[in-house]
C-alpha cells in the first residue's frame, strides 16, 4: 500500500511540475508583451526549410537554350572568319569591241514602255474588235507610237514599230520576234494591252545609225 502511494505521489508531482513550468512561461510572455506593447512572436526554429527540387523539364529546357546559344556563337565566328578570308573582288567594266558602236546616250527603253502603255490604254479602252477596221487602225497606231517614242529617243537612232491586233475570243496568239543587232547600242521595248474583245502587242526597235 505504501509503495503504491509513493508511485501516485511521484506521478502527481510530475504533473504538477510541468503545469507549473508552463504557467510560468505563459506569465513571462504576458509580462513582456505588456511592457513593450507588442505581441510576442514565436521563436523561430533553427531547422532549415527543404529547398525546392529542380524539375527534369526545366533542366532539359536550360540545356537546349545553352546548346542553341553555343551554335549561334559558333556560326557567327565562322561567318567572321570567312569574311576575313574572302578576297577582294575587282569589278571590270565591260569592254566594247572596236567593231561595235558606243553611243554616249543609249535608248531609254523603260521610259518608252511607260509611254506606250499609257497610249494603248487611252486609245483602245473602248474599241471593239472589227477585222475590217483593225488593219487601218494598226497602221495609224504604229505611226502615233513612233511619234511618242521619238520625243525621248537620243540622236542617230532609227525606230521600227511592229504592232499586231487580234480577236480575243477565238484563239490564243503568241507573238515572238528575232533580229540581228548590236547589243552594245541597239535595244527594244515591248508592250501589250487587251480589253473585252481584242488584244494588241507592240514592239518598238531602236537601232543606232553611225
Q: How many structural domains are present in the chain?
A: 2
What integer pLDDT is reported at residue 93 of this predicted model?
Answer: 65
What integer pLDDT is reported at residue 25 of this predicted model?
Answer: 52
Query: 111-170 pLDDT, tens per residue?
Result: 999 999 999 999 999 999 998 898 899 999 999 999 999 999 999 999 999 999 988 876
Give the residue numbers spanning the domain of 83: 57-87
What integer pLDDT is reported at residue 188 of this predicted model?
Answer: 92
78 and 154 in a single domain? The answer is: no
145 and 200 in a single domain? The answer is: yes
DSSP state of 42: P
Question: Residues 117, 193: contact at Cβ < 8 Å?
Answer: yes
117 and 170 in a single domain? The answer is: yes
Question: Residues 150, 159: contact at Cβ < 8 Å?
Answer: yes
Cα–Cα distance for residue pair 135/115, rounded to 1 Å: 23
144 and 78 in a single domain? The answer is: no
Q: Is residue 64 in a domain?
A: yes
Q: Which residues, in sequence order, are CB contacts of 188 under 8 Å at separation 6+?
A: 109, 177, 179, 203, 204, 205, 206
Cα–Cα distance for residue pair 94/199, rounded to 1 Å: 39
What integer pLDDT is reported at residue 8 of this predicted model?
Answer: 42
Q: Is residue 40 in a domain?
A: no
The residues of the chain scoring below 70 in pLDDT are 1-54, 86-94, 170
Q: Is residue 139 in a domain?
A: yes
What integer pLDDT is reported at residue 18 of this predicted model?
Answer: 46
What is the separation, in whole angstroms, between the first and last Cα of the chain? 151
202 and 148 in a single domain? The answer is: yes
Nearest to 153 by CA among 202, 96, 106: 106
Nearest to 148 by CA among 175, 118, 177: 118
What integer pLDDT is reported at residue 177 of this predicted model?
Answer: 79
What integer pLDDT is reported at residue 26 of this predicted model?
Answer: 52
Question: Model-level pTM greater than 0.75?
Answer: no
115 and 190 in a single domain? The answer is: yes
**Which CATH number goes with the domain that contains 177?**
3.30.1140.40
Amino acid at each position: 500500500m505504501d509503495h503504491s502511494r509513493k508511485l501516485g505521489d511521484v506521478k502527481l508531482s510530475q504533473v504538477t511540475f510541468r503545469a507549473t513550468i508552463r504557467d510560468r512561461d505563459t506569465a513571462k510572455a504576458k509580462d513582456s508583451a505588456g511592457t513593450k506593447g507588442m505581441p510576442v512572436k514565436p521563436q523561430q526554429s533553427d531547422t532549415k526549410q527543404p529547398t525546392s527540387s529542380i524539375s527534369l523539364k526545366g533542366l532539359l529546357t536550360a540545356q537546349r537554350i545553352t546548346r542553341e546559344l553555343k551554335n549561334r556563337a559558333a556560326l557567327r565566328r565562322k561567318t567572321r572568319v570567312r569574311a576575313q578570308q574572302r578576297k577582294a573582288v575587282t569589278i571590270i567594266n565591260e569592254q566594247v569591241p572596236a567593231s561595235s558602236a558606243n553611243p554616249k546616250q543609249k535608248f531609254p527603253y523603260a521610259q518608252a514602255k511607260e509611254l506606250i502603255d499609257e497610249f494603248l490604254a487611252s486609245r483602245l479602252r473602248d474599241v471593239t474588235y472589227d477585222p475590217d477596221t483593225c488593219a487601218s487602225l494598226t497602221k495609224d497606231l504604229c505611226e502615233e507610237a513612233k511619234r511618242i517614242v521619238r520625243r525621248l529617243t537620243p540622236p542617230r537612232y532609227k525606230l521600227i514599230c511592229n504592232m499586231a491586233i487580234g480577236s480575243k475570243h477565238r484563239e490564243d496568239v503568241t507573238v515572238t520576234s528575232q533580229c540581228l543587232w548590236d547589243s552594245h547600242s541597239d535595244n527594244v521595248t515591248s508592250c501589250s494591252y487587251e480589253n473585252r474583245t481584242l488584244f494588241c502587242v507592240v514592239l518598238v526597235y531602236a537601232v543606232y545609225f553611225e
